[in-house]
Chains A and B, each alone.
Chain A
Amino acid sequence: MGELPFKISQPLSLGIELELQIVNTRDYNLTRGASDLLGALAKGGSPGDIKPEITESMIEMSSSPQTSHAGLLAELRAMREAVAAGARKLNLGIAGGGAHPFQKWNDRRIYDTERFNQLASLYGYLAKQFTVFGQHIHVGCADGDEAVYLTHMFSRFVPHFIALSASSPFHQGEDTLFDSSRLSAVHAFPLSGRIPLVRSWAEFEAYFAKMRDYGIVQSMKDFYWDVRPKPEFGTIEVRVCDTPLSIDRAAALAAYAQSLARYLRLERPREVSDDLYLVYNVNRFQSCRYGLDAELIDPFGGVRAKVHEDLVATFSRVAAHAEELGCRSVVQGLLMGAQDYGNDARRLRARFKETQSFADVVRWQCEQWMQVR
């Protein structure tokens, strides 16, 4: 057994984590509510796993490992019911969205645990500015080598996940012009970015051992990469998504990731190459900035296409796999409907244009997520 044993999990098993905003229902600013909400939930005996995050204005909801989109969605719905009921009792609002539109970062409070206090003192203002809300998608892998392969190959599709989930157009009371402003906040951390170009689990373990011996990291948790292997779970974890406005969209994104993973591991359409990362940062920036209308450069061949066009092309490749996984219509709706539906960032902007009030936008976000008025 090597440095980092890779737990065997069921290939293509599925799980997500959602970071959610806690707001008050008076002016809809972020508020200190995590410990009160968790206290109220613990008494009620809630399904699934609901945890505090680094600030008091955030909670994280994690599904258990699921095999299908349907199972995942059912579990998320039950968790939403519990969280929404707890929040209503405390007169709090729970919302999706990658960033709060008008909170001031200096107002945020650090949730009182040793790890969070340590991070806060290490990263200073970054820790508070990191009050952004993401969705992480886990897909099970057969072994470490497969995880390394999928991690690299997913980077080709990272712009899809960014553009489809983007829901943070506003930040600190301004329109950022970005569809996802959240990812730029992640970029400031020294260990963000991407996995180095290793080609096997053994190589990755050697890299990890070196980084640990330098004293740079202690565990995989310290890497804030866009896509990273997660040996404790036996999964790869896609971390670029903004938390969507609804759990249905969150589950649909997970179904897309699952279908994509099945396509990649069974067909192995390409081998890992340096070229993947030549275009990576430019594509990433483009999709953060322009969302579904961003122009992507295909690392394999250099063809340029808009994200929404690339989504349509990708669907023809993954459709059969989605069919096998029982989520074809969901993935079809997500990828083929992208151009018409737009993404959540577009809907948030439309909402703001209509109401001219960020508080109204957040109230609407709460309605979208809690599904109650």
Chain B
Amino acid sequence: MPELFFLPALPLPSNQIIWFGVLLVAGVVGGEIAKRAFFLPRITGYAAAGLALGPDGFALLGRPMLDELRVFADISIGLILFELGHRIDLRWLKRVPRLALTSLAESGLSAILVYFTLTQLFGVGPLHAAVAAAIGLATSPAVVMRITADLGAEGQVTERTLLLTALNCSIAVLALTALIPSLYLEYRGGWRIIVLHPLYLLGGSFVLGLAASALTLQVLQWIGKRVEVQVLALVALILVTVGVALTLKLSVLLALLAYGGLVRNLDRNHSLAAPDFGLIGQMFFLILFVLAGANLDLAAAAKGSAIGAAFVAVRFIGKAAGIMAFIPGSGLKARQGLLLAVALTPMSGLAVIMLQDTQSLFPEFGRALASLVLPAVVLLEIAGPILTQFALKLAGEARPGPAAKS
């Protein structure tokens, strides 16, 4: 036994807990600096802090550690998608069918415009362009939810931003799953895989969401209306569901969206008080944005700045056109419709995850795809939160007074 066996061996091993804490601290500091010194949304600061620590910054945080920390991002995504799914109020959609049409129009038009821009202007192949367009039609749920919460925003623009985000994320995930057969056709795999894999993803994820929501409603009914206990139980069940989805190689995105949506719409007895994950939620939000920042690939973005700019521009035009087409009779004024379109601009974490999921199945295809999507992601990582914040403030829906200033 060496003499000083109680001392740690050199070189010191780094571990996830240290990094988890370091990322939290960096995020908090970055967020405060963004807010106080630059009057930017805090989440822009979180991402900047991540970028500074990550491989493209001072490289304190290497790729291997980033991969190990992915588990925290998965948990965050789980919480966010559950809450997002819970925003889908089917009764509202049934009462105002125009809302569903608006969603289809803004998602569809932005995807079509992105597709044709990529194929016609940049000579991208149709399959690459289609997958990029599917990923691009989704608004970043994390950004939209964090900004509305930070601003204390309330009103129709806020409500509809959240609803349309929930819907376009669902549409994007479904569209991406629907494109899997074409990818198999292009790359590998017999007909059994072509048919069964998307069915397994869709069916399996939905069944998991359904089972989780049924169990949740039972548990919540048994717990009763004590909000704190409900939130803890909910977080626990979400973690289990995320874990099961990963283990079964299902789609975390689909499963959690279905879970949240079903809990909301199957809850006949109103057993769930509105979920508010409070500080737990904020912590995971922060980690997600820091990790997203650390994962940013600036080199790829710089190379594709023209594609990125075109992507972002036509995507916005598609969203704005889709929304404005259904403004009459929607209960919104034209100005509110335009601000709604601006608020839907962010695109970040969810796009990266969809990208990574595709890449893990089709590595070669994924690399080419990344060069189409990432430039827009990097651009909107910075501009997205600012635009959403700007739109909600201009709509008069941000909380005035000291709460908004602090």
Contact = CB atoms under 8 A, between A and B. Distances in A.
Contacts of A40: 331
Contact of B154 (A32, A91, A356): A32
Contacts of B95: 88-89, 91
Interface string A99-130: 00000000101001000000000000000000
A33 interface: yes
Contacts of A86: 331
A91 B399 contact: no
Given A89-B331, A363-B270, A36 B225 contact: no
A360 B155 contact: no
B159 A91 contact: yes
A132 B182 CA distance: 60
B368 interface: no
Interface centre among B159, B225, B331 (most CB of A within 10 A): B331
A306 B333 CA distance: 53
Contact of B89 (A32, A91, A356, A360): A91
B400 interface: yes
A67 interface: no
A360 B331 contact: no
A33 B332 CA distance: 12
A359 interface: yes
Interface string A345-357: 0000000000111
A35 to B, nearest CB: 7
B363 interface: no
Given A89-B95, A356-B224, A357-B225, A31 B89 contact: no
Interface string B140-181: 000000000000101110010000000000000000000000
Interface residues of B, number: 21
Contacts, number: 54
B266 interface: no
Contacts of B229: none
Contacts of B274: 26-27, 359
A303 B243 CA distance: 73
B396 interface: yes
B176 to A, nearest CB: 29
B314 to A, nearest CB: 30
Contacts of B397: 32
Interface string A334-373: 0000000000000000000001110110010000000000
A112 B396 contact: yes
Contacts of B333: 39
B270 A36 contact: no
A91 B92 contact: yes
B273 interface: yes
Interface string B220-259: 0000110000000000000000000000000000000000
B154 A35 contact: no
Interface centre among A24, A25, A35, A109 (most CB of B within 10 A): A109
A356 B156 CA distance: 30
B398 to A, nearest CB: 10
A89 B96 contact: yes
Contacts of A33: 154-156
Nearest to B331: A40
A363 B269 CA distance: 12
A90 interface: yes
Given A39-B333, A88-B95, A89-B331, A357 B273 contact: yes
B396 A90 contact: no
Contact of A359 (B273, B396, B399): B273
Interface in B354-373: none
Interface string A75-103: 00000000000101111000000000000
A36 B273 contact: no
A23 to B, nearest CB: 11
Contacts of B400: 109
A101 to B, nearest CB: 13
A36 B89 contact: no
Contacts of A89: 95-96, 331
B331 A31 contact: no
Interface centre among A27, A32, A88, A363 (most CB of B within 10 A): A32
A32 B92 CA distance: 18
Nearest to B328: A43
A355 B274 CA distance: 15
Contacts of A112: 396
B379 to A, nearest CB: 32
B156 A90 contact: yes
A295 to B, nearest CB: 36
Contacts of A88: 95
Nearest to A106: B403
A89 B128 CA distance: 39
A363 B273 CA distance: 12
Contacts of A91: 89, 92, 95-96, 159
Nearest to B98: A89
A24 B154 CA distance: 9
A183 B305 CA distance: 63
Interface string A309-328: 00000000000000000000
A36 B399 contact: no
Contacts of A35: 155, 396
B155 A32 contact: yes
A36 B224 contact: no
A90 B225 contact: no
Nearest to A29: B274
Contacts of A357: 225, 273
Interface in B15-69: none
9 contacts: A24-B159, A27-B273, A35-B155, A88-B95, A89-B95, A91-B96, A357-B273, A360-B270, A363-B270
Given A31-B155, A107-B152, 16 more contacts: A27-B274, A27-B276, A31-B154, A32-B154, A33-B156, A40-B331, A86-B331, A89-B95, A89-B331, A107-B399, A109-B400, A355-B225, A356-B224, A357-B225, A359-B270, A360-B225
Interface of A: 24-27, 31-33, 35-36, 39-40, 43, 86, 88-91, 107, 109, 112, 355-357, 359-360, 363
Interface of B: 89, 92, 95-96, 152, 154-156, 159, 224-225, 270, 273-274, 276, 331, 333, 396-397, 399-400
The 6 closest A-B pairs by CB, nearest first: A27-B274, A32-B154, A357-B225, A40-B331, A36-B156, A91-B92
